[in-house]
Amino acid sequence: MHGFRLDVETHIITAAATSVQNLTKCIRGIGIEIDDLILEPLAAAEAVLEPEERLDGVMMADIGGSTTDIAVFKDNSVCFTSVLPIGGYQISRDISIGLGLTFEAAEELKKKFGDVTPWHGEEPEQDRELTLGQHNVSSHDLSEIIRARVEELVRLIVMELPDKDYAHFIPSGLVLTGGGANLGGLAELSHDIVRFPVRIGVPPALPGVSDALCDPAYATSLGLMLWRSRNSSAQTPQAKGGIRGFVSPVLRMFRQ
């Protein structure tokens, strides 16, 4: 075929050089060599998104400790990425301030009892007394505090979408992952807000990998390993040992 012009549509991710240098220095400082740098939501997406979802259009949000990392896929390519400076830390801080607890107690309470299941008014929401150490807390109060922050976060996530025609742009909806996606009732509440499909992205069980890692909190870690196994042709000849020395046995199991 003859042609006069060759175009490419590409998604470029930039990062502050000092942040990248500091991170690289820390990893090298513990004796691990780095093969590649991958933006966190792209790695998480490897572990929790289905190929059909990436093809049709899907938004993934990884709710971490201090950030929520977003990636949108369409036509099998990443077309948008973004990082919001809100995560589980802010939820725990709200609980700590709202209920007068230490941050550690608030964090523990959230992980143990955190639930934002929406109440649709059919029956009164059951209020229970939750006990954590010497603290007694109303389940209703806890869930009200968490829900307020989660509602705000879900709205901010969706506002990041570059195209507001959701049904057309992301027919596969929103996939929530990361440790923060472990909150009870999160998918239901988010669906009530956004009115399109929402599911929780849990990494799949992989041969040779403990089932304990089938938790949204491990989406990025497992995704990093899957990324390497799926893009192994991109390995540079210079990259030796290091993190690959640790990951390779696992990857060999994936390939079987």
Ligand X SMILES: Nc1ncnc2c1ncn2[C@@H]1O[C@H](COP(=O)(O)OP(=O)(O)OP(=O)(O)O)[C@@H](O)[C@H]1O
Binding site for ligand X (CB under 6 A): 40, 64-67, 87-89, 92, 107, 110-111, 114, 178-180, 182-183, 217, 220
d(CA 201, CA 159): 20
* Torsion sign (Cα): 92, 98, 104, 106: negative
Shortest Cβ contact with ligand X: which residue? 88
C-alpha to C-alpha distances, 158 to 47, 91, 111, 139, nearest whole angstrom: 21, 19, 25, 28
Least distance in angstroms from the C-beta of 147 to ligand X: 13
Shortest approach of ligand X to residue 252 CB, angstroms?
A: 26
For residue 43, which of 12, 89, 81 has the smallest C-alpha distance?
81
Binds 172, which of ligand X, Mg ion, none (CB < 5 to 8 A, cut-off by type)?
A: none
The residues facing 198 across adjacent strands are 174
Residue 87 binds which entry of ligand X, Mg ion, none, CB below 5-8 Å type-dependent: ligand X
Q: CB nearer to ligand X: give 87 or 203.
A: 87
- For residue 46, the minimal CB distance to ligand X (Å) is 15
CB of 172 to Mg ion, least distance (A): 22
* Partner interacting with residue 67 (select from ligand X, Mg ion, none; CB below 5-8 Å by kind): ligand X
- What's the Cα-to-Cα distance from 188 to each of 32, 150, 155, 165, rounded to whole Å? 41, 12, 14, 21
Strand partners, 60: 71, 175
CB of 133 to Mg ion, least distance (A): 28
CB nearer to Mg ion: pick between 114 and 223 = 223
Instruction: Choose between 40 and 166: whose C-beta lies nearer to ligand X.
Output: 40
Report, in Å, the least distance between residue 47 CB and ligand X: 12
Kindly tell me which of 64 and 203 has the beta carbon lying closer to Mg ion.
Answer: 64
**Residues 6 or more apart in contact with residue 239 via CB below 8 angstroms:** 33, 35, 36
Pick between residue 57 and residue 203 the one whose CB is nearest to Mg ion.
203
Rg over CA atoms, the chain: 21
Site of tokens 């929402």: 198
Please state, in angstroms and rounded to a whole number, the distance separating the CA atoms of residues 62 and 205: 19
Contacts to Mg ion by CB under 5 A: 64, 220
The interface partner of residue 203, options being Mg ion, ligand X, none and the CB cut-off 5 to 8 Å by kind, is none
